[in-house]
Amino acid sequence: MDNEIITTIVLALFLSLGLAAKKKPVFGQMTLTGEMALDWLKSGSEITAGKIMMGAIGAFPEYNVPEWANDRNKDIAIIEHANTNLNPLLVTQKSVMRAIEAKCVEWEEQGAEVALEKSGSATRAVLIFGEDQPTFKFERSKNGGKFAPYIMYVEE
C-alpha cells in the first residue's frame, strides 16, 4: 500500500475515535477530572436561575457531583446561573428540593419552557427561564442549629 493511503486510514481511525469519545463541556469551570464544578447549597446561597434541572444523580454525568451526594441521595437538583460564568448550585436537601419542585410546577402551569432530557443513565426534568429569571435565596432557620431546615425565598 501507498504511504499516503496508510496515513489517510490512520488519520480516519484517530478522527473516528476522537468523535466517539464522551463530549466534555467547553465552558464552565472545569475540575481536574474534566467535569463541570458545582457549588453546593449553604446558608446565604443566592442564585439568579437560568435553568433548573432535577433528577437522579446518574442524569448529570457532565457535572462533578461529590461522592457524599451519591451516598445520601438518589435525586438531586442543579440550578444553573443566568450568568453562565458562575458555577451551578447543587441541591441535595429533600425539603429544599420539594420547595423548588413546587415552584417549578407553578411556573410550568404558567407556561414556562420545560423538557425531559435523557442524559447519562437517567432522565432529568428541565425548566428553562427566558427573560424573567427568578432569584433564589436560601437561609437556614435560626432555630435548630447546624441541622436546621432551609428557608427558600424566590424573587420573581
Mean pLDDT of 21-49: 72
Asked whether the predicted pLDDT for residue 10 surpasses 80, the reply is no
Phi, psi of 15 (to 5 degrees): -65, -45
* pLDDT for res 141: 83
Using 50, 70 and 90 to split pLDDT, how confident is the model at 148? Answer: confident
Q: Across all residues in the chain, what is the average pLDDT?
A: 82
Instruction: Return the pLDDT at 115.
Output: 96
Q: Compare 111 and 10 and report the one with higher pLDDT.
A: 111
